Chains A and B, each alone.
Chain A
C-alpha cells in the first residue's frame, strides 16, 4: 500500500511569491491534515480536510489556505511568502481523522529567501 506522497520535496521561493504544495493520501483515507514544522515552534496544526470540507483550522493567517479534491488529494497554498514561512510542511492522512492515528508524508521543505 503506497504511503502519503508529498510534492515537491524541496523548493526555494523569494519573499512575496506564492507556493502550492500537494499531498496524495493513502488510498481510502478521506481525512488530510497539514502541519508546519519549524525548529522554534515545533509542529503546529494548519488545517484538516475531510470529504472536501475544511473541518478544522489552526491559528495561522489567511495567507495559508488549502483545499481537498474529490479523490481526497489535497493542496495547500501560501500567498505573499514571508521569511518566517520557511519550514517543513507535513501532510498526514487517516481514514476518518477521528482516532489521532495519522500517517505522515516525508514533507515539503520550503525555503523563503
Chain B
C-alpha cells in the first residue's frame, strides 16, 4: 500500500538557518503530495501541495518539488524563524481509494528554531 517516510526529528536550528526536511513516498498510482504543519495545541494546517510530477508547491517561504524519479517531496526554507517551530507532516492522497479525502501521513518531524 501507499506510505510516506519522513526524516526523524527533532530538528533544531538557529534563526535564519536553512531548513530541509526529507520526505519520500511509495505509491502505486499518481498521488498528490502535501505538507501540513501543526503548531502547538492546534490542528493541522495545509502548508503547501503539488498535484503532479515537477510541480513546485510554495507558501510562507516554504517550498517543495514533486520529484517522481526519486519519489520525494522534500520541504525547504531558506531562512527559518522562531515562529516556524512546529511539527511538519508530509502526506499523500491515497491512490487505492479512488478520489476521496483519505490521506496517508508521515510520522511528522518536529522543528525547533532557537533565537
Contact = CB atoms under 8 A, between A and B. Distances in A.
Interface of A: 4, 31, 33, 35, 42-45, 48, 50, 55-56, 58, 90, 92, 94, 97-107
Contacts of A4: 43
Contacts of B99: 98
B49 A43 contact: no
B101 A48 contact: yes
CB-based closest 9 A-B pairs: A97-B101, A104-B43, A43-B105, A100-B93, A104-B44, A42-B107, A56-B100, A98-B99, A106-B43
Given A42-B106, A100-B34, A100-B91, A90 B44 contact: yes
Contacts of A106: 41-43
A58 B97 CA distance: 10
Contacts of A97: 100-101
Contacts, number: 72
A104 B42 CA distance: 9
B103 to A, nearest CB: 6
Contact of B103 (A45, A103, A107): A45
A100 B43 contact: no
B101 A94 contact: yes
10 contacts: A42-B108, A43-B89, A48-B100, A92-B101, A97-B101, A99-B93, A100-B103, A101-B34, A101-B49, A102-B101
Most buried by A among B41, B49, B97, B101: B101
B102 interface: yes
B62 to A, nearest CB: 16
Contact of A90 (B34, B43, B92, B107): B43
A29 B63 CA distance: 28
Interface in B59-115: 89, 91-94, 97-108
B106 A100 contact: no
Contacts of B32: 99-100
Given A56-B94, A102-B46, A104-B45, 9 more contacts: A31-B100, A42-B108, A44-B105, A45-B94, A45-B104, A48-B100, A50-B100, A104-B43, A106-B41
